[in-house]
Structures are given as structure tokens and as C-alpha cells.
């Protein structure tokens, strides 16, 4: 999973996701982070909950200035749903950068279980992506009553998964186009050359 690319637009957008932090001590000049005081309070008080972009939250966390609260979309119930049936979880509606932000949160909070759950969920959804792309990158209609989740899977994708899904289609399409440039021949048995007669075995007395 690509991280820390300064020039990547998706990287910038992912870090704009808002999370809740709680300072462990007063932050001088941090009153601007309050959403309701219109800047009237100069400092951010210890223990006050504020919503900040993820890029700012991780800066606070790395300096041990504030604790990050785990968002509900990464809570135990959400992760149980992801592990139980990952193909029907509408992760794209929760966050376009669900996995990128989640793995970073798990690292900052030292939550290895959350990290493992996210990576296992991503792997399971990638396997579903490969299954739906088919042999030549053309998505097949998934309307089987035995697997209703497959029909809604494309509408649940995050930004990263969309890149894998549509990138797989494009790669296979280009590969097939490249293969079609070459003439193919099928070898058949010659109609001119006759097969040699079979030799009869002599019986010995």
C-alpha cells in the first residue's frame, strides 16, 4: 500500500480526513482548533475534544501532545463486519481512503489487531476483485442468488480498490490487444502424408 508520497494527490486527500484528538496538556495558541469559540479562546485546554485533519493529528500523536480517538468506522463492530463478509462492506461510503488512514491509525495507536484486520480485509476484497475481473479483465455479471454480495461489490470500493479494479481491467485489455497483433496458427495433421501402415506381429510357434 503506497504511503508518504509528497506529490500524490490521493495521499494529500487521505490526510485531510478528520479525526478526534484529546490533548494530554494545554496547547498554547491551540484555541484556533475549537470549532465553536470563533478564536476567542487562545489556548487548547487539556482533555478537550477537537476535530482536526489527520495530518495534524498524527503530528500531535508523534510528539505525545495528544491522544487520537479511534473513529467508529474502525471500531470492533465495524471490523467484525469486515471479517465476516468483506465484499458487502460499503467502505467507500465510510471513507474513500479507509485502508490508508486505518493502517496509519493502527500504527500510531500501536493496535496490531486493527492493522491485521484491515490487511486481511483488503486481501479478501482483492481476491474478490480478481475473481470478478475474469480471465481477461472483463468484469462478469455477478447476479447469482447464491452470492448476492458479489453484485454490489463494485459499489463498495475505496479509492485504492477502484485503482486496482479498473487498473486490472485496463492492463488485461492492453495485454489482449498486444496479443491480437500477432497472427496465431493452429497445427493440424497433414492430409498429404499418409500414416505409415502398422506392422503385424508374427506369431511364433
Domains of the chain (ranges plus CATH)? 7-69 (3.40.5.50), 71-128+135-173 (no CATH)
In the numeric block, which cell numbers belong to residue 45? Answer: 485546554
The pTM of this model reads 0.72
- List the strands of the sheet with 50-53, edge to edge: 50-53, 18-23, 66-68
Q: What is residue 178's predicted lDDT score, i.e. its pLDDT?
A: 81
Please state at what angle helix 76-84 crosses helix 112-133, rounded to 10 degrees.
30
Can you give the pLDDT of all 205 residues of the chain as single tens digits? 545 566 778 888 999 999 999 999 888 888 888 877 666 788 888 888 999 999 999 999 999 999 999 999 999 999 999 999 888 899 999 999 999 999 999 999 999 999 999 999 999 999 998 888 875 445 555 555 555 557 788 889 999 999 888 888 888 788 778 877 775 555 566 566 565 666 665 655 5
DSSP code string of 135-191:
TTT-PPP---TT-THHHHGGGG--HHHHHHHHHHHHHHHHHHHHHHTS--------S
Q: Within 13 Å of residue 26, how many CA atoms lie on the same side as its CB?
A: 6
Measured CA to CA in angstroms, residue 64 lies from 1, 170, 189, 194, 196 at distances of 26, 45, 77, 86, 87
Amino acid at each position: 500500500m503506497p504511503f508518504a508520497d509528497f506529490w500524490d494527490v490521493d495521499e494529500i486527500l487521505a490526510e485531510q480526513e478528520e479525526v478526534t484528538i484529546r490533548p494530554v496538556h494545554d496547547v498554547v495558541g491551540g484555541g484556533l482548533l475549537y470549532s465553536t469559540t470563533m478564536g476567542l479562546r487562545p489556548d487548547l485546554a487539556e482533555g478537550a475534544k477537537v476535530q482536526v485533519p489527520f495530518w495534524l493529528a498524527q503530528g500531535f500523536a508523534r510528539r505525545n501532545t495528544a491522544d487520537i480517538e479511534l473513529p467508529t468506522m474502525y471500531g470492533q463492530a465495524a471490523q467484525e463486519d469486515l471479517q465476516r463478509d468483506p465484499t458487502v462492506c460499503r467502505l467507500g461510503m465510510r471513507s474513500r481512503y479507509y485502508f490508508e488512514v486505518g493502517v496509519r491509525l493502527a500504527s500510531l495507536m500501536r493496535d496490531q489487531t486493527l492493522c491485521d484486520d484491515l490487511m486481511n480485509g483488503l486481501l479478501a476484497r482483492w481476491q474478490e476483485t480478481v475473481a470478478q475481473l475474469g480471465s481477461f479483465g472483463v468484469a462478469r455479471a455477478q447476479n447469482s442468488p447464491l452470492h448476492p454480495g458479489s453484485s454490489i461489490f463494485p459499489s463498495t470500493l475505496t479509492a485504492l480498490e477502484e485503482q486496482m479494479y479498473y487498473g486490472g481491467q485496463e492492463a488485461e485489455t492492453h495485454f489482449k490487444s498486444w496479443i491480437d497483433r500477432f497472427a496465431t496458427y493452429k497445427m493440424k495433421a497433414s492430409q498429404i502424408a499418409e500414416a505409415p501402415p502398422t506392422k503385424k506381429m508374427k506369431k511364433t510357434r
